[in-house]
Amino acid sequence: MFTQQLLNALTLGSVYALFALGFTLVFGVLAVINLSHGAVFMVGSYAALTLVTRLHLPLGIALPAAMALSGCLGMAIDVLILKPLRARNAPHLIPMIATIGVAIMLSSAAQGIFGAEILRFPEGTIPAGEFTLGEVHVRALELSIVGISFGLMAVLFLAIRRTQLGRALRAIAESPRSASLLGINVEGLFHATSFVAAALGGVAGVLIGLNFNAITPLMGQPILHKGIAVIILGGMGDIRGALLAGLFLGFAEVMSKAYLSSQMGDAVAFGLLFLILLVRPSGLFGRVLERKA
């Protein structure tokens, strides 16, 4: 029973981590709390659904396509909205409010186009295989979700640690002005970061849509709250922290639902969060990142 819950926690936690990774990446590099990340997550999931039902594409193609689509959406938000605000040097509250406007637009567009009811993937499109390992029941779907999440996160990690691009990103996170003085194309990397972050958010949307097989226009809201919790817990802008905190939150949620009341578990999680912020404002795993530019 416990190992079964552990598997559920790993599945949920890996998707939380994937979602929060994009969220924290945007905060770390662009210094913006992007509240449209939940809406992009929702768009990714509708995009995959449409590709599967209308164009009859297999999931293996629909998933990367939905990822690219949500990435483009993220980049469009950056170019059309966040860039002019950066150019004006607006205080950080302002871009956050602009992204709220975007989130409202996207979720009501989805509601207008697809309706408010719960949509599901048609039968046969979700990998149905399953096997039993000892007393644990493993679905192929869960295995692919965990595999895809960790695979994407590993790629991102390596890219940020090892490549020239990653070094440039870390330089921008320290100080955009010094980075641009060093000849780094800061604007270009802002766009690229927005693309990558939104693509990760979109994939997370598809994976959650598959896992629960339920897609609604408002599915981005609860995960946005969890994303906020994860990036606080992990330290704002901290990528490794987002991974650990995402897994931790998935674990806490599944276990509290299984062994405590389902609702008070959330209160404990947010209460813990509140306390952590008071004791360690930089998060459990984070270090204080003061932007000097």
Partner 1 sequence: MEWLANFWATYSTLVYSVGVFALMALSIWLTLACGLLSLANAAFMCIGAYVSALLSLHAGWPFGATLAAAGAAPALVALVIGMPTLRLSGVYLAMATLAFGEVVRIVVLNLEVTGGPEGLNGIPQSTTGWHILAILAVVVYGLLRLQRSRVGRAFEAIREDEVAASLMGINVARHKLFAFVLGAVIAGLAGGLNAHYTFFISPREYGFENAVDILTMVVLGGIGGLAGPMLGAAIITLLPELLRSLHEFRGIVNGLILVLVVLFLPKGIWDPRRLRALFGLGPGRDPGC
Residues in contact with partner 1 by CB under 8 A are 33, 35, 81, 84-85, 88, 90, 92-94, 97-98, 100-109, 111-112, 221, 225, 228-229, 232, 236, 261, 263-264, 266-267, 270-271, 273-274, 277-278, 281
Nearer to partner 1 by C-beta: 277 or 293? 277
Nearer to partner 1 by C-beta: 133 or 278? 278
Nearer to partner 1 by C-beta: 66 or 98? 98
Tell me how far, at minimum, the Cβ of 6 lies from partner 1, in Å: 25
Tell me how far, at minimum, the Cβ of 75 lies from partner 1, in Å: 16
Nearer to partner 1 by C-beta: 94 or 159? 94
Tell me how far, at minimum, the Cβ of 18 lies from partner 1, in Å: 21
Contacts of 171 (CB under 8 A, 6+ apart): 178, 179, 182, 184
At CB < 8 A and 24+ separation, what contacts does 164-168 make?
Answer: 165/189, 165/192
Tell me how far, at minimum, the Cβ of 117 lies from partner 1, in Å: 12
End-to-end CA distance of the chain: 52
Tell me how far, at minimum, the Cβ of 20 lies from partner 1, in Å: 13
Nearer to partner 1 by C-beta: 94 or 171? 94
Please answer whether residues 37 and 197 qualify as being in contact, where contact means their C-beta atoms are separated by less than 8 angstroms: yes
C-alpha–C-alpha distance, residues 16 and 201, integer Å: 10
What phi and psi, each to the nearest 5 degrees, are found at residue 131? Answer: -145, 165
Tell me how far, at minimum, the Cβ of 192 lies from partner 1, in Å: 22
